[in-house]
Amino acid sequence: MAEIRGFANGPYERLADVLSATLDDGSDLGASVAVTVDGEFVADFWGGWADSDRTAPWQQDTIVNTWSTTKTMTGLVALMLVDRGLVDPDAPVATYWPEFAQNGKEGVLVRHVLSHSSGVCGWEQPVVQEDVYDQDKSAKILAAQAPWFEPGSVVGYQAIVHGHLVGEIVRRVTGRSLGTFFAEEVAGPLGADFHIGLAPEHDARVTPVLPPPPLPFDFATLDPASPMYKTFTGPPVGADFANTAEWRRAEIGGANGHGNARSVARVQSVVANGGTLDGVRLLSPETVDRIFAVQAEGVDVVLAVPVRHGLGYGLPSEAVPYVHDNGRVCFWGGWGGSLVVVDAARRTVFSYMMNRMAPGVVGGPTAEKLLTVFNTI
Per-residue confidence (pLDDT) for residue 375, from 0 to 100: 97
**Peptide bond connecting 98 to the previous residue in cis, omega within 30 degrees of 0:** no
pTM, full prediction = 0.98
User: Do 343 and 327 meet the contact criterion of CB atoms below 8 Å apart?
Assistant: no
141-175 per-position pLDDT tens digit: 999 999 999 999 999 999 999 999 999 999 999 99
pLDDT band at 235 (very low <50, low <70, confident <90, very high): very high
Residue 135 lies in a domain: no
Per-residue confidence (pLDDT) for residue 76, from 0 to 100: 99
Per-residue confidence (pLDDT) for residue 214, from 0 to 100: 85
Per-residue confidence (pLDDT) for residue 132, from 0 to 100: 98
Residue 185 lies in a domain: yes
pLDDT band at 246 (very low <50, low <70, confident <90, very high): very high
d(CA 159, CA 227): 11
DSSP run (H or E) holding 231: helix 227-233
User: Do 65 and 271 meet the contact criterion of CB atoms below 8 Å apart?
Assistant: no
Per-residue confidence (pLDDT) for residue 166, from 0 to 100: 99
346: phi then psi, degrees, rounded to nearest 5: -90, -5
Per-residue confidence (pLDDT) for residue 219, from 0 to 100: 83
d(CA 210, CA 354): 10
User: Residues 279-287: what's their mean pLDDT?
Assistant: 98
67-98 per-position pLDDT tens digit: 999 999 999 999 999 999 999 999 999 999 99
Per-residue confidence (pLDDT) for residue 258, from 0 to 100: 99
Per-residue confidence (pLDDT) for residue 217, from 0 to 100: 80
Residue 143 lies in a domain: no
CATH value at residue 235: 3.40.710.10
d(CA 143, CA 56): 44
311-350 per-position pLDDT tens digit: 999 999 999 999 999 999 999 999 999 999 999 999 999 9
Residue 356 lies in a domain: yes
Per-residue confidence (pLDDT) for residue 18, from 0 to 100: 98
Q: Which among 101, 135, 132 is positioned nearest to 118, based on CA atoms? A: 101
Per-residue confidence (pLDDT) for residue 37, from 0 to 100: 98
Q: Which residue has the higher pLDDT, 214 or 5?
A: 5
166-223 per-position pLDDT tens digit: 999 999 999 999 999 999 999 999 999 999 999 999 999 999 999 998 888 888 899 9
Residue 156 lies in a domain: no
Q: How many CB atoms lie within 10 A of CB 150?
A: 11
Residue 192 lies in a domain: yes
pLDDT at 25 over 80: yes
Q: How many CB atoms lie within 10 A of CB 348?
A: 22
Domain count, the chain: 1
**Averaged pLDDT score across all residues of the chain:** 97
DSSP run (H or E) holding 307: strand 306-309
Residue 58 lies in a domain: yes
> CB within 8 A of 93, min separation 6: which ones?
100, 105, 108, 109, 110, 112, 113, 118, 165, 169
Per-residue confidence (pLDDT) for residue 315, from 0 to 100: 98
Residue 134 lies in a domain: no
pLDDT at 361 over 80: no
| Percent of the chain scoring above 90 in pLDDT | 97
User: Which residues constitute the domain of residue 213?
Assistant: 4-76+179-374
